[in-house]
Amino acid sequence: MDVNARCIALTNDNARQLGLSNVHACLPEEVDPELRFDTIWSNPPIRIGKSELHSLLILWLPRLATGGNAWLVVQKNLGSDSLQRWLANELPSEFTVSRESTSKAFRILRIHRSPAKQ
């Protein structure tokens, strides 16, 4: 998923040339709102501003399927630690947020969705 039409076209062309029938790039509004994901990989657009970033993450992370994981690559100097804390506080209780790795100036954050607690 991307907001850039050229990126979408190139991704779909590359997938087609490689024979990858399970890849479909599209605009965010073209994704069925009922669709759930086992895995989300993202280098979130931190520079769009905190409010927009938070809205984006709160829209997409709850679309993880039970048992699913989201992996976010975030630069340390662009607020990875504060984003980790914010996600842990804002997501429902069935989500856990952890720092899985650090390399140079980057952090890998993992968001895992467990079955809802009853």
Give me the CATH number covering residue 99: 3.40.50.150
User: Tens digit of pLDDT for each residue in 10-53?
Assistant: 999 999 999 999 999 998 889 999 999 999 999 998 888 899 99
Q: Does residue 19 lie within any of the structural domains?
A: yes
What is this structure's pTM? 0.85
- For residues 50 and 84, state if they share a domain: yes
Using CA atoms, how far residue 75 sits from 12, 34, 116, in Å, is 28, 31, 30
User: For residue 3, what is the DSSP state?
Assistant: S
Domain encompassing residue 72: 35-113
Place of tokens 């984006």: 56
3-state secondary structure 28-63: HHHCCCCCCEEEEEECCCHHHCHHHHHHHHHHHHHH
- For residues 42 and 69, state if they share a domain: yes
Q: How many domains does the chain have?
A: 2
Report whether 76 contacts 106 (CB < 8 A): yes
Q: Does residue 118 lie within any of the structural domains?
A: no
